[in-house]
Chains A and B, each alone.
Chain A
Amino acid sequence: MLDALQRLGQITLQFFQRLGRGNLFLLQTLASLPGTILRPGLVVKQMYSVGVLTLVIIVVSGLFVGMVMGLQGYNTLVDFGAEESLGVLVALSLVRELGPVVAALLFAGRAGSALSAEIGLMKATEQLSGMEMMAVDPVQRVIAPRFLAAFLSMPLLAAIFSAVGVYGGHLVGVGLLGVDDGAFWAQMQDKVDFHEDILNGVIKSIVFGFIAGWIALFEGYDAVPTAEGVSRATTQTVVHTALAVLGLDFVLTALMFGD
């Protein structure tokens, strides 16, 4: 009994210690951002590995998600004779929820894990230490550009996901199942509000980009510098990002659409 309590206390303490380190790390990173903006070359290079390399999976997944939504939505709506609303259904689900959330999950799997592994390995091979000894701040030079790149890429990726998804839904709904093309778009434009739906979706993806970048970089930076530690950090990045994104999505949805 006492052992169990002690264990619980230990876990709680460790959790808060880690949270504290994570927050300090975030503050350090944010403090280094102004210096990073002065060197856009570093950010561009990271946007390539974080954004461009994630693009393929985002486009393919977006297309398929949109197509599935088209099929499923049509089957349900046709019972009510409301298949013209297919565009609304596809667009709203993508823009409000699936775009930001699924893009963030894919981002964690593709880019987040790569970031953690890279930073963890740099730590394990003493590259970060080496930079410090060369009087170069690794947070400024290595972490901050990656963080900024993740933060900038996420909304773009989510927007691409949603846009491709809408066309995927159009492809199936209009091209395959014969929903009227005009009605598809007109109903969509009628019901999807720019502020309420599109902007809120973009805000979500910005928040998710922030969180995903933070978790991935912190896990790498805080990793135990061994092969096992790095692999653990990579796994944790994906798990923690997924949990954080889904949890935050609920909170954000409640705040944005809950009135």
Chain B
Amino acid sequence: MNSRTVEIWVGIFTAAGVAALFMLAMQVSNLSSIGGTAGYVLTATFENIGGLKERSPVTVSGVRVGRVESINYDLESFEAVVSMKINDDYQGFPEDTSASIFTAGLLGEQYIALEPGGSLDNLKDGGRIQLTQSALVMEQIIGQFLFSMSSDEKQE
């Protein structure tokens, strides 16, 4: 075979391989959404984060606005500190915005839902969300349910 043909084929092969890698990076993985990591950070403390993980979504009214960047435990307040990276497109949440941890569906993953308040001052980069609601833990809910059932019965 002609060496020019060989070289052209190897060129095609290499280009296809690189294109495949690129496709995997951009189309299949989350690289594109991390892509310009432009965003600002908000933190919030929770008593219990349940099954929240790094990279869990952060939503407002069901719209995804960012993701959880890191989860730490504060030894002084004995609470979990969650920092969220919020996309730059979504700025200007009021200072009294509240954050809750919800579960998507019965078995789905957990996510943070933000609910804007009515304050005129806005949260800035590094700002802290004061109002938080912890994750619902199934055992606790069942326990509370049983407890209230039995107390209801006594009253009757």
Contacts and interface: CB of A to CB of B under 8 A. Distances in A.
State if A and B touch, Cβ cutoff 8 Å: yes
Interface of A: 41, 44-45, 47-48, 51-52, 55, 80, 91, 95, 153, 155-157, 159-160, 162-164, 166, 185, 188-194, 197-198, 202
A202 B21 contact: yes
Interface residues of B, number: 29
Interface of B: 1, 3, 6-7, 9-10, 12-14, 16-21, 23-25, 27-34, 55, 57, 107
B30 A190 contact: yes
A45 B6 contact: yes
Contacts of B25: 194, 198
A160 B15 CA distance: 10
Contact of A156 (B1, B13, B27, B34): B13
A163 B18 contact: no
B29 A160 contact: no
B13 A91 contact: no
A202 B53 CA distance: 25
B111 to A, nearest CB: 11
A194 B17 CA distance: 17
Contact of B32 (A47, A95, A189, A197): A189
A148 to B, nearest CB: 13
8 contacts: A44-B6, A44-B7, A55-B16, A160-B17, A163-B21, A189-B30, A193-B29, A198-B25
A185 B7 contact: no
Contacts of B1: 48
A185 B33 CA distance: 12
Contacts of B13: 47-48, 51-52, 55, 153, 156
A111 B31 CA distance: 33
Contacts of A163: 19-21, 23-24, 28
A52 B25 CA distance: 23
Contacts of B9: 48, 52
A144 B9 CA distance: 21
Contacts of B18: 156
B152 to A, nearest CB: 34
A192 B10 contact: no
A44 B32 CA distance: 33
A22 B132 CA distance: 62
Nearest to A80: B107
Nearest to B24: A198
A191 B67 CA distance: 12
Contacts of A45: 3, 6
A91 B10 contact: no
